Structure 1
Amino acid sequence: MTEQMLKEAFYWFHQNPELSYEEYKTTAKIRELLEKEGIEILPCKLETGLAAVIRGKRQGPVQALRCDIDALPIREESGLPYSSLCPGKMHACGHDFHITAGIGTALILQEKREALKGSVRILFQPGEESSLGALKMLETDVMEGVERIWGIHADPTNPVHTIGIREGYVAAAVDRFVVTIQGVGCHGAHPDDGTDPIPAAAAMVQAFQTIVSRNVNAFHPSLLSVTRIQAGNTWNVIPETAWLEGTVRTMEREDRHLYEKRLREIAEQTARAYGAAADVEWIPGPPAVYNDGGMAELGKRKALEQGFLVAEEERSLGGDDFSFYTERIPGCYIKIGTGKGQLIHQPGFRADPDALLPAAQYLAGLLLEP
């Protein structure tokens, strides 16, 4: 596949975004492009997404490369000539870039099978934006025997030909909470006849921030954001129930447990102080992403050998379900510069297609050196 063919595939994926677990056309297109070049597709009991394998001619380890494939429910405003053809859907996180770079990597490795030690499985994973797509992939046997895994992400904070990489934690654990505050509804003119859950909810929003400022080590990155408050449905009635919803982001395992414990305590005791009751639902998501030290060093060395600039990968309190893989085996999550511009999850996000072939060549180089 030539550079132009790679770009044309990228344009197609960008124009045809599909949301998590709806990636039917995307999966079919990936299969079509790979099979056309003789790439073996592994049996995989998934409705969307697939895994390909390149088997080397020499003895060596089994490695994997994760490329996520889903888009976001965002209306595109990039102005690109190949903008999304699906209203309200957009590849605003660069997964179209990940798909295409993964295909390019597969083709390069296929051409260099004589030099490849072991085998490489390329996972075109659905549902990353759901935070649980990796678990769907792990429910199959495509990871059986894999000894280490690489992950990539488009990086609009760095120019093309830049690789961002570091050892240690690079993305946060992602947890969600929902607090239901139960009071007693009454007429808005007679609050003394009921128990108003709204003041309790407002107090909780403020009190939750003391976990960040007073309970967590100041040198440990973390945050708590209340992102939804809901109560009542008219102007002259005090409601009986209020809801808070939000997210907690942590890097350290002990902080994750601390947040859950303190949030429950604060919610329940604050509600009690206002004469109400609180029920807390804690919904755990992916753990923090941790880059293996040896893999990170290899990633830096190969980048420099290929003439890339190497930047210290920014630590982010965003999350990625790539961490479900790295809980089981060593892994490394690398940022690939795609040109400076609007950040991911924004309607004007762009990934420069000129970064595709260099990215594929870089990833193939990593995988050729076990």
Structure 2
Amino acid sequence: MTKKKIVIDLKEIIELRHYFHQHPELSNNEFNTTKKIKAVLTAWEVSILPTGLDTGILAEIKGKQTGSIIALRADIDALPVQEETSLAFKSLNSGIMHACGHDLHLTSLLGAIKYFKDNRDQIKGTIRFLFQPAEEAGGGAEQVIKKNVLKDVKAILGFHNNPNLPVGTIAVQSGPMMAGCYKFEITIKGQGSHGAKPEKGHDPIIAVTEIVGALQTIVSRNINPQDAVVISVTNINAGNVWNVIPSEAYLQGTVRLFDEKNAKLVRQRLFELTEGIAKAFGQSVEIGWSERALPINNDSNLTQAVINNLSSTVHKPLLSMAGEDFATYQKKIPGVFAFVGSNGAPDVADWHEPNFVGLDETLTTGVDYFIEGAKGLLAYLNEEMK
């Protein structure tokens, strides 16, 4: 049976979306964004909790009945991208753009707050609303965890808009949703020489080219073919003179996958292959490996509780190789993360592109997802407490 959609006036929320889109700020510099969110919540007489964070906001609404504590999360930062859309409300900050649609996320959360502020009688428990900084740069969720902002929270709910899905669409499932994101950096140290006398040195460019090819064998010869793993070398830098072999060469890249066991295997093989090749060419190597985002894996029971309470038709998602730090929360708190359709036009621009457009109509589904998802989580958790 199709559930009746919640109907709320989104005029103010759309206006706020336009404001935030016009005034984007980079990770850890969301000072005006934080100030504006705080002003809106203060005008709505919503309780704001201390966090100790430089940017970002945590708000809270307590229901008229006691029950579990849950959190709804939206990210608030933008990207260092020059906007190339024709939107009437395009970015006013040169070189900065909400090219990933976080303005849609944070205003959807504001819409949910507005609804729950006027309908506290529908809350059996407490809902905290987290406006998280620095998702794009990585580390924002970790900042929140370190400040113990989510103490006593039993479940967390979030979403990311998806321009490849039509407006009105929600895609979610238990288990994997988005890939873990890892960064590697490799510096090969050889010995430079004249380009006409390569035998006088140890050419790091040759070592780097061997490494690039060898890294691709990690997936083809070490990973189960049924597992999704990507290793991409994205930057190579060596030398700057046409007739001189340099003494160093550098490369960096990214690994994307859904299983943390595979992350350990890829890391191990990357080190082994790189160190072995460097040694074979009589050179030394420095390797850096950093975790930028863990794989997102939804809790099965909570996901079903959310799906059961959604009025929109729920679709099975296509897994995304993009990374998102929502999984940092899921290591501490069970959670549910979904995709909400934000465009769906043919040949639509994707995340991080300068002509990315997330439609205003996305907010209707985004707000509903937060409201209905929160009710579903609270109903399930409160039943479990009995």
Distance 2:110 2:28 in 1: 20
Cα deviation for residue 20 of structure 1 reads 0.2
Letter in 1 for 2:269: R
Letter in 1 for 2:357: R
Q: Does 1:76 align with 2:83?
A: yes
Q: Does 1:175 align with 2:182?
A: yes
Query: Which of the residues 19, 23, 26 maps onto 1:16?
Result: 23
Query: Which of the residues 310, 313, 327 maps onto 1:309?
Result: 313
Structure 2 segments unaligned to the other structure (5+ residues): 1-7, 379-386
Identity %: 39
The structure-2 alpha-carbon separation of the partners of 1:362 and 1:286, relative to structure 1 and needing over 3 Å to count, comes to closer
Q: Does 1:131 align with 2:135?
A: no
Q: 1:54 — aligned with what?
A: 61
- 4+ runs of 1 displaced by more than 4 Å? none
Distance 1:365 1:282 in 2: 40
8 Å contact 1:231–1:239 — kept in the other structure? yes
User: Secondary structure of the equivalent of 2:166?
Assistant: coil
Distance 1:122 1:101 in 2: 11
Q: 1:320 — aligned with what?
A: 324
Q: Does 1:251 align with 2:258?
A: yes
8 Å contact 1:164–1:313 — kept in the other structure? yes
TM-score, structure 2 as length reference: 0.93
Cα deviation for residue 294 of structure 1 reads 1.6
Distance 1:22 1:185 in 2: 42
Query: Which of the residues 330, 335, 338 maps onto 1:331?
Result: 335
Deviations along 1:9-52, whole A, 9 cap, x unmatched? 00000000000001000001111111111111001111111111
Letter in 2 for 1:362: Y
8 Å contact 1:15–1:82 — kept in the other structure? yes
Distance 2:363 2:319 in 1: 24
8 Å contact 1:108–1:361 — kept in the other structure? no
Taking the TM superposition and a 5 Å limit, the aligned residue runs for 1:218-367 are 218-303=225-310, 306=311, 308-340=312-344, 341-367=348-374
8 Å contact 1:6–1:357 — kept in the other structure? no
Cα deviation for residue 301 of structure 1 reads 2.2
8 Å contact 1:72–1:91 — kept in the other structure? yes
8 Å contact 2:105–2:366 — kept in the other structure? no
Distance 1:302 1:139 in 2: 32
Cα deviation for residue 153 of structure 1 reads 0.5
User: Secondary structure of the equivalent of 1:255?
Assistant: helix
8 Å contact 1:167–1:293 — kept in the other structure? yes
Q: 2:100 — aligned with what?
A: 93
TM-score, structure 1 as length reference: 0.97
8 Å contact 1:23–1:126 — kept in the other structure? yes
Distance 1:239 1:350 in 2: 44
Cα deviation for residue 289 of structure 1 reads 0.7
Letter in 2 for 1:324: T
8 Å contact 1:152–1:334 — kept in the other structure? yes
Distance 1:253 1:361 in 2: 32
8 Å contact 2:63–2:123 — kept in the other structure? yes
Q: Does 1:196 align with 2:196?
A: no
Cα deviation for residue 277 of structure 1 reads 1.9
Distance 2:314 2:244 in 1: 59
Query: Which of the residues 206, 210, 215 maps onto 2:217?
Result: 210
Coordinate RMSD, CA, aligned = 1.2
Deviations along 1:318-354, whole A, 9 cap, x unmatched? 1111111000111011111112131111111111112
8 Å contact 2:306–2:372 — kept in the other structure? no
Q: Does 1:108 align with 2:115?
A: yes
Letter in 2 for 1:282: W
Cα deviation for residue 358 of structure 1 reads 3.3
Distance 2:375 2:177 in 1: 25
Distance 1:172 1:255 in 2: 12
Query: Which of the residues 109, 113, 124 maps onto 1:117?
Result: 124
Distance 1:222 1:86 in 2: 36
Cα deviation for residue 286 of structure 1 reads 2.1
Q: 2:32 — aligned with what?
A: 25
8 Å contact 2:157–2:373 — kept in the other structure? no
